[in-house]
Amino acid sequence: MEYTYKTQFVCTPDIKFDLDGNVVTNIRFSGGCPGNLKALSKILNGWTVEQIEEKLLGNTCGRRPTSCMDQLAKAVRKAYDEAQ
């Protein structure tokens, strides 16, 4: 199922991804740092919610309290919890 997550405090306004059980695929960021986000989306394709949380939750960007990757970790957890 496709999910859209509205982000907070980062350059990209939303993140879209597919979730099948706990496996995340087809990650797409709107805006942000396109080269980095496209590369990370390819690397993370097929990871589980738990793997994404373990590696990315809590990462910050500069002085911001979050980052695009932290927002992704929050997004996939929210989608997974809502699907249960």
13-58 pLDDT per residue, tens: 999 999 999 999 999 999 999 999 999 999 999 999 999 999 999 9
Question: Is the pTM higher than 0.75?
Answer: yes
What is the average pLDDT across 62-79?
Answer: 97
Q: What's the pLDDT score for residue 48?
A: 98
Question: For the chain, what are the domain ranges?
Answer: 2-83
Q: Report in angstroms the alpha-carbon separations of 11 from 14, 19, 22, 29, 76.
A: 9, 23, 26, 10, 18
Name the token pair of 4.
């859209």
The answer to whether residues 56 and 66 touch, using CB atoms and an 8 Å cutoff, is no
Q: What's the pLDDT score for residue 67?
A: 97
